[in-house]
Amino acid sequence: MTGFAYHAPTSVAETLALLGDHARAGRRAQVLAGGTDVLVQLRGVDRTPRALVDIKGLAEVNRLHVGADHVFIGAAIPSAHLNENAELARLYPGLMEAADLIGSTQIQGRASVGGNLCNASPAGDTIPALIAVGARCVIATASGTRELPVEAFVTGVGRNALVSGELLLGLSLPRPGAATADAYLRFTPRTEMDIAVAGCGVSVTLDAGGVCTAARVGIGAVAPTALLVEAAAAALVGTRLDEAALNAAGAACSSAASPITDKRGTADYRRKVVGVLCRRAVGIARDRVLAHRA
Amino acid sequence: MAEAVDYKAIGTSPVRPDGVDKVTGRAQYGADLNLPGQIYGKVLRSPHAHARILKIDTSRALALPGVYGVITGQDFPEAEGGEIGGEGGGDVSDLAKNIMARDKVLYHGHAVAAVAAKSLSVAQAALDAISVEYEVLAPVLDLESAMAPGATLIDPSCFTKNLPEKPTAPSNIAAVMKLGRGNVEEGFAQADVIVEGEYRIPMAHQGYIEPHACIASCNEQGQATVWCCTQGHFEFRAMTAKVLRMHIADLKFIASEIGGGFGGKTVIYLEPLAVMLSRKSRRPVKMAMTREEVFRATGPTSGTLARIRVGARKDGTLTAATAWLAYEAGAYAGAPMGPGAMTVFAPYILPNFAVEAFDVLLNKPKVAAYRAPGAPQSMYAMECAMDELAERLGMDPIDLRLKNAAEEGTQAPYGPKFPAIGLKACLNAAKAHPNYTRPLPAGAGRGMAVGFWFNVGMQSSAEVHINEDGTVTIVEGSPDIGGSRASMALMASETLGIPYERIKVIIGDTESAGFSNVTGGSRTTFATGMAVIRACEDIIAQCKSRAASTWGIDADQVDWRDGAAIPAPGVNAALKPLALADIAAGAPKTGGPLLGRASLNAQGAGAGFSVNLADIRVDPETGKVDVLSFTAIQDAGKAIHPAYVEGQMQGGAVQGLGWALNEEYIYDANGVMQNAGFLDYRMPVASDLPMIDTVIVEVPNPTHPYGVRGVGETPIVAPLATAANAVSRATGVRMRDLPLSPPRVLEALEAAGR
Amino acid sequence: MDKIQIGTSINGEAVEFLCEPQQSLLEVLRDTLGRTGTKEGCSTGDCGACSVLMDGRLVCACLVLAAEAGGHEITTIEGLATDAGLHPIQQKFLEHAALQCGICTPGLIVATKALLDRHPDPDETTIRYWLAGNLCRCTGYDKIIRAVQDAARSLAHPA
């Protein structure tokens, strides 16, 4: 009568079959991980009936694996679980900061990095942080799997690169060496329980002399999608991450931004603040590398 | 000042009588009751801020299986005119139209129809099946446009009230109010320094966590019982009776526990709809608002535009002040401009002043009371101006206030002379407080401001039942929002001389308790407390007479001490005291049950003053404001339950800080609120705040038996200016528009070249 | 109607219920099962009034589908007190006057339990950030924080 259905498949194959069946029948199906975005939308802006496909019973999307070269984070792992993992906190302090900023303790008990990514909000906190660490999306398709860099996964406000019948399994992150560290900062008027007005994730690699040899900068909430800002990275590489370099990277972020004015902030404000966040985040990441060495 | 008294119960902070039920989830709030056979009501709301309703077609909704009734404005009786009374104020026919639009919708979210159905999902489907044709009109969304000549009229039959000459043309200015004394021009001529400024305070919501909810059950005779969360079930009953043209006696209202109100639950929204839907469906109808509905369709408080001019001599003596205050009423008249005008200069001795205030209609929800309604807005402006004056004079801001502070005998700007008040005591406590004298943290600014609220008395009733074993049940009619049962029990314990634990306090329904006005106006501990004390005194008199008859002596030969009747000094000393329990046990033989009663219209609510201090730091690159410390100092007269008095001070401080820093109604050009949820209507969360230090000053109110002043409302008044003054002193830039949200602060800093 | 049958455990007791696929755990707890101790303040996960524990993890019941509760253990405010009396957290909220209207109190107490189960000795900042998802409009949080600190002491050193 309500037109809603709930499915809890137990394998990737079963999930893909279910999604495929719905697509072929022209029925709407929506993947459910933590549900912290889906349930809110269901009650407000988007009340149309659909099948909810709960993927939390799949082993693959709950898999966390720290390998020698790569780390795999299953798409449905709640951020609270990630934050409690000491190894992840050591390897990706910035990404974990971002995951720790998603909503409240209660939200973190459910919300997943994969869900944050698929929801494709311009303000999703983990997206710039994932971009900064060079994460790639691992996607199950009818014929196997495919991978996409995070910055190519989100294609617009609320839109992602998954095509009908595909499922995001998780994220593959290059494992950083001791000379690399990341950081994430976002700005919100409240300390918690808020949506980013601007966000910036960075990752920097320093050589023994303290010169930056590689950098990645992702910004969020200042454009329809989170962006990889190569100009900001270029401003950092080859410098000692001194004030001038930080200012240049910040300026690059501000000019890469194309924000809107809304209830959360003005375009002008967002443009300025994303530059401030970049400067501060690079400083934090740099200090993290140096602290490793000390 | 009254002498210090040693109390046994008063001034202690025991666990509240209703506490266990509230920490275990047993306590029943508005949405917690379910009746057998109940169905669910929901409201269809206007998608336009201003529109004429051309046609409503409910036929498709009525045809849905499981739909038991649909109502629209056409189903309501023609509303009678007349004042509502109580703290909300306003006109009955406006109230009726606010509950359900008739020919026009006046704000986005205005109710246009309601349905009752077997489940919430069917009710929602029924709402979706109602079609409404509108002729969309231009919305009026800000004070300047609303007040401008030639403005689009919200209500073409609205002519400005209180003008010296009857106006010939309608206006969005529903009423004006003027107050004054002395000669303002002469006063300013005597001033060495004059500051003036224009201040903007946004529309803000009370933000109670419990959405409005009720259940109504109507019988075939048209008699209805309504169970709801309310600050005043008697007034809800009267309002519902007026809107539905029913006899008051045909309505029974039962107040549930209430999950916050702050003034917002002093007016009805759902109750008459539920009664009508129950009458149509002959089933109990349950209705509860969503959070979004609470924001869009219940009364926030007025956004305000305030212009202040204050002059002083070099030594700080104020010579003159003027205030121009425009308050947003929302869709119907009744903004709190009166209290705003009366409080703006209340803390100061001012020989010359003039206040002009406006009640202005626009296409926003009709405002409702919010904690000290009107005062935070006007006093924000004045207290910022005083801070600026102190800076210009090179004076300590507390010294400037002390120089001009009202005291006992000062004629208040609104008329009467103040009896004993605690303003100077609060200012002196602030000046001596370590949070004021210690060095300023690096990069921070220290702000202070004064707060004031009249407090009110009004009507209350109480009954004191002495049970057979001498325990006590008190029945009164003031919903307990913040621990008032504990205050009542403490005052009864003190008066009767029996332990607090033997007293139970009940909030009776409209058929089992005597009439009481709303829990509002900071009146409950004062006025209902006075009724409880008088009812206890009634019991003591009865007990003395029962003891006298037992002992065979005259009643005036009996004293009451420590919960027992004793012979008066000089009377037969061999008589053993008769404790309350003994008298209760013997009651059948001495005249029957012991029942004490009092009902009164309490006069002489003592005015409440406060002083707040804050240390605040501003991030110069993002404009973010951090509150490092906050101190609330307030005259409580006598704190009956100090922990709950502190709680009022701390809670009001944080509500005020929220309003100062981030809370505001944000509208788009069509009059649609953009932040109708707790995510984007940013009330402070725990991590935004430091501990809130408190100092309770006690200057007893001479008209209350224990010296009580109301404490609930004053706390929200001073934090707005305290925060703004601290930000100004931290940054060197004076920002007059609230909230001091990061984008606004950064913009101001950049404009000032910081 | 396409209702689903769900078996779960609530406060240690096996419970079965029927729910619609899109219904939240909060709706089922309050309306179907009559467990109204868990409060509804927003239904969008922004106020924390409906905080419950799911397998010991703090969640908002409004953001969990009732269907998702199948096979999990749910703890609500009604499950905290025991035959021995109130839970120490409940007792400390009372003693510190950490509630005024009380509507946020069940959620705050459940959230505090989740905090102290993981961090028995939290500092003030940890408490404030952990509880940031629980709005209270009455108290200004001061007395709540003190009650939590005292509850932590009381749990560490039972009288």
Question: Three-state secondary structure along B486-506?
Answer: HHHHHHHHHHHCCCHHHEEEE
Per cent of chain C over pLDDT 70 is: 99
Q: How many domains does chain B contain in total?
A: 2
Q: Taking CB atoms and an 8 Å limit, are C51 and A36 in contact across chains?
A: no
Q: Which among C141, C159, C32 is positioned nearest to C97, based on CA atoms?
A: C141
Whether cis (ω within 30° of 0) applies to the bond prior to B739 is: yes
Query: Which residues are CB-contacts of B352 (< 8 A; sequence separation ≥ 6)?
Result: B181, B182, B183, B184, B186, B187, B188, B319, B320, B321
Q: Taking CB atoms and an 8 Å limit, are B651 and C125 in contact across chains?
A: no
The whole-number average pLDDT for the span C62-76 is 98
B331-342 pLDDT per residue, tens: 999 999 999 999
Burial string for B425-464 (b: 16+ CB within 10 Å, else e) reads bbbbbbbebebbeeeeeeebbbbbbbbbbbbbbbbbbbbb
Q: Considering only alpha carbons, which residue of chain B is nearest residue A48? A: B125
Q: Taking CB atoms and an 8 Å limit, are C64 and A35 in contact across chains?
A: yes
Q: For the sheet containing B104-105, what is the strand order?
A: B104-105, B51-57, B131-136
Of B602, B623, B653, the last residue of a domain is B602
Widest pairwise Cα distance in chain B = 88
pLDDT at B1: 39
Cα separation, C92 vs C147, in Å, equals 5
Helices (H), chain A: 12-25, 38-43, 79-83, 86-91, 93-101, 105-108, 113-119, 126-132, 150-153, 230-236, 243-256, 267-293
Instruction: Round the average pLDDT of chain B to a whole number and report it.
Output: 96
B488 and B614 fall within a common domain: no
- Interchain CB contacts (distance < 8 Å): A and B: 53
Cα separation, B147 vs B167, in Å, equals 14
Helical (H) or strand (E) element with B122 = helix B120-129
Cα separation, B558 vs B577, in Å, equals 10
B633 and B717 fall within a common domain: yes
Strand partners, A104: none
Exposure of B744 in the CB half-sphere (CA atoms within 13 A):
20
Chains that touch B (3 or more CB pairs under 8 A): A, C
Chains that touch C (3 or more CB pairs under 8 A): A, B
Q: Which among A156, A160, A198 is positioned nearest to A30, based on CA atoms?
A: A160
Main-chain dihedrals φ then ψ at residue B102, nearest 5 degrees = -105, -90
The whole-number average pLDDT for the span A204-230 is 97
Tokens representing B621 are 């690159």
Whether pLDDT at B167 is above 70: yes
Lowest mean pLDDT among A9-18, A285-294, B491-500: A285-294
- Count of beta carbons in the 10 Å neighbourhood of residue A156: 10
Tokens representing A190 are 């409240």
CATH of C88-156, one of 3.30.70.3040, 3.30.70.2860, 3.20.20.70, 1.10.150.120: 1.10.150.120
Whether pLDDT at B81 is above 80: no
B16 neighbourhood in chain C, CB within 8 Å: 94, 97
pLDDT at B78: 84
- Sign of the CA dihedral running B312, B348, B661, B294: negative
The confidence band for B2, taking pLDDT boundaries of 50, 70 and 90, is very low
- Count of beta carbons in the 10 Å neighbourhood of residue B59: 10
A56 neighbourhood in chain C, CB within 8 Å: 68
- Sign of the CA dihedral running A200, A201, A206, A212: negative
How far A186 CA sits from the closest chain B CA (Å)?
A: 11
Q: Considering only alpha carbons, which residue of chain B is nearest residue A266? A: B743
Minimal Cβ distance to C48: which of A5, A6, A104: A104
B497-540 pLDDT per residue, tens: 999 999 999 999 999 999 999 999 999 999 999 999 999 999 99
- Chain B (660-689) residues lying within 8 Å, Cβ to Cβ, of chain C: 677-679, 683-689
B680-724 pLDDT per residue, tens: 999 999 999 999 999 999 999 999 999 999 999 999 999 999 999
B28 neighbourhood in chain C, CB within 8 Å: 36
pLDDT at C92: 98
B691 neighbourhood in chain C, CB within 8 Å: 124, 142, 145
Q: Are B170 and B152 in contact (CB under 8 A)?
A: no
Q: Are B513 and B496 in contact (CB under 8 A)?
A: no
Tokens representing A181 are 């560290």
Main-chain dihedrals φ then ψ at residue B586, nearest 5 degrees = -90, 0
- Chain C (73-112) residues lying within 8 Å, Cβ to Cβ, of chain B: 76-78, 80-81, 86, 90, 93-97, 99-106, 109
Q: Are C72 and C66 in contact (CB under 8 A)?
A: no
Cα separation, C147 vs B315, in Å, equals 47
B646 and B587 fall within a common domain: no
Q: Are B443 and B624 in contact (CB under 8 A)?
A: no
Q: Which among B88, B82, B86 is positioned nearest to B516, based on CA atoms?
A: B86
Of B580, B602, B624, the last residue of a domain is B602
Q: Write the DSSP symbol of residue B667.
A: B
Whether pLDDT at C2 is above 90: no
Of B555, B572, B602, the last residue of a domain is B602
C86 neighbourhood in chain B, CB within 8 Å: 20, 23-24
Q: Considering only alpha carbons, which residue of chain A is nearest residue B675? A: A263
B527 and B660 fall within a common domain: no
Q: Taking CB atoms and an 8 Å limit, are A264 and B680 in contact across chains?
A: yes
Instruction: Estimate to the nearest angstrom the gap between the alpha carbon of B80 and the chain centroid.
Output: 26
- Sign of the CA dihedral running B253, B255, B259, B263: positive
B616-658 pLDDT per residue, tens: 999 999 999 999 999 999 999 999 999 999 999 999 999 999 9
B345 burial via Cβ count (<10 Å: 0-12, 13-18, 19+): buried
- Where in the sequence is the domain holding B477, given as residue range(s)? 19-26+457-602
pLDDT at B89: 60
Q: Are B173 and B160 in contact (CB under 8 A)?
A: yes
B431 and B475 fall within a common domain: no
Indicate the Cα dihedral angle B577, B581, B582, B583, nearest 10°: 90
Q: Taking CB atoms and an 8 Å limit, are A265 and B743 in contact across chains?
A: yes
A2 CB near a chain C CB, below 8 Å?
A: yes
Q: Taking CB atoms and an 8 Å limit, are A195 and B679 in contact across chains?
A: yes
Q: Taking CB atoms and an 8 Å limit, are A194 and B679 in contact across chains?
A: yes
Q: For the sheet containing B224-228, what is the strand order?
A: B67-72, B111-117, B39-45, B285-288, B213-218, B224-228, B251-255
The confidence band for A166, taking pLDDT boundaries of 50, 70 and 90, is very high
Residue with tokens 């980013």: A196
CATH number where B499 lies: 3.30.365.10
pLDDT at A44: 85
Cα separation, B101 vs B109, in Å, equals 10
Q: Are C19 and C61 in contact (CB under 8 A)?
A: no
B293-345 pLDDT per residue, tens: 999 999 999 999 999 999 999 999 999 999 999 999 999 999 999 999 999 99
Whether pLDDT at B87 is above 60: no
Q: Taking CB atoms and an 8 Å limit, are A190 and B680 in contact across chains?
A: no
Lowest mean pLDDT among A134-138, B80-84, B283-287, B544-548: B80-84
B399 burial via Cβ count (<10 Å: 0-12, 13-18, 19+): middle
- Chain C (106-145) residues lying within 8 Å, Cβ to Cβ, of chain B: 106, 109, 124-125, 127-129, 131-145
Taking only Cα atoms into account, the Rg of chain B, rounded to an integer number of angstroms, comes to 27
Q: Taking CB atoms and an 8 Å limit, are B647 and C20 in contact across chains?
A: no
The confidence band for C129, taking pLDDT boundaries of 50, 70 and 90, is very high
B594 and B628 fall within a common domain: no
Q: Considering only alpha carbons, which residue of chain B is nearest residue A270? A: B743
C45 neighbourhood in chain A, CB within 8 Å: 36, 39-40, 103-104, 106-107
Tokens representing A267 are 């375009």
A266 neighbourhood in chain B, CB within 8 Å: 743
Question: Domains in chain A and their CATH numbers?
Answer: 5-54 (3.30.43), 63-174 (3.30.465.10), 180-289 (3.30.390.50)
B521 and B625 fall within a common domain: no
B20 CB near a chain C CB, below 8 Å?
A: yes
Whether pLDDT at C1 is above 60: no
B56-68 pLDDT per residue, tens: 999 999 999 999 9
Cα separation, C148 vs C117, in Å, equals 12
Q: Are B587 and B546 in contact (CB under 8 A)?
A: yes
B598 and B468 fall within a common domain: yes
pLDDT at A3: 84
Whether pLDDT at B90 is above 90: no
B476 and B545 fall within a common domain: yes
CATH code for residues C4-79: 3.10.20.30
Residue with tokens 């949405």: B31
Give the domain ranges of chain C: 4-79, 88-156
Q: Considering only alpha carbons, which residue of chain A is nearest residue B748? A: A269
Cα separation, B417 vs A291, in Å, equals 67
Instruction: Round the average pLDDT of chain A to a whole number and report it.
Output: 95
- Count of beta carbons in the 10 Å neighbourhood of residue B351: 16
Distances (CA, A) of C62 to B341, C65, C77: 44, 8, 15
Burial string for B182-211 (b: 16+ CB within 10 Å, else e) reads eebeebbeebeebbeeebbbbbbbbbbbbb
Q: Considering only alpha carbons, which residue of chain C is nearest residue B29? A: C103
Q: Taking CB atoms and an 8 Å limit, are C63 and A105 in contact across chains?
A: no
Which residue of B120, B621, B672 is the best one to mutate when testing the A interface, meaning the one whose CB has the most A CBs within 10 A?
B621
Cα separation, B358 vs B309, in Å, equals 17
Cα separation, B147 vs B142, in Å, equals 9
Structural domain contains residue B709: yes
Q: Taking CB atoms and an 8 Å limit, are A39 and C130 in contact across chains?
A: no
Q: Which among B47, B212, B37 is positioned nearest to B130, based on CA atoms?
A: B47
Distances (CA, A) of C17 to A51, B191, C23, C25: 20, 76, 12, 11
Q: Write the DSSP symbol of residue B525.
A: I
C114 neighbourhood in chain A, CB within 8 Å: 105
C133 neighbourhood in chain A, CB within 8 Å: 103-107, 192-193
A43 neighbourhood in chain C, CB within 8 Å: 43-44
- Chain C (100-129) residues lying within 8 Å, Cβ to Cβ, of chain A: 111, 114-115, 129
A109 neighbourhood in chain C, CB within 8 Å: 54, 57-59
